[in-house]
Amino acid sequence: MYGPILVAVLMWLFAGSEIYQRAVIDLDGTVIYSATSCMQPYNNRCGTTYLLRARDGSEQRYDAGPTDKSLRRRLPVGTVLMKKKWALSYAVNGREVRDFPLAFYAGVLGLGCVSAIWWCILIGRDWVRSGKMSDGLSR
């Protein structure tokens, strides 16, 4: 009975988390250090650690992991990287990069909504079958 709502919640958490974590990234600076490491033995699921220097001289560390929430990995030293908070796109050397698969995550959120509606229909059907009326009285 709770399967559809559980699926809906899991879909919302999955998609919402990726979108939110990408949106809250706030970077503006030049890459002064870049190191990429990959999981062995197949060199898949790579991540890159960046150290960026802002115009005011402050430094900021950013870890780009192997998921959609992260910005591009393997950017060389000297690359200018700018990502504004709440935006899903970012700029590399002044060129806008729109690589976040928003349509996919919107689809997952939509399927979660369909699953939640399905659960409400099932609950409503069972409620009507049990003899309870909308005013809370029994037949």
Torsion angle of C-alpha atoms 102, 104, 108, 109, degrees rounded to 10: 20
Taking 50 as the threshold, does the pLDDT of residue 137 lie above it? no
3-class secondary-structure state, position 66: coil
| 130, part of any domain | no
| 128, part of any domain | no
| 138, part of any domain | no
Rounded to an integer, the average pLDDT of 103-124 is 91
Report the domain count for the chain: 1
Q: Which residue has the tokens 């689809």?
A: 107
- Domain assignment of residue 74, given as a range: 3-121
Over the stretch 40-99, which tens digit does the pLDDT of each residue have?
A: 888 888 999 999 999 999 999 999 999 999 999 999 999 999 999 999 999 999 999 999
| 137, part of any domain | no
**Euclidean distance between CA atoms 81 and 93, whole angstroms:** 6
Confidence at residue 130, expressed as pLDDT on a 0 to 100 scale: 80
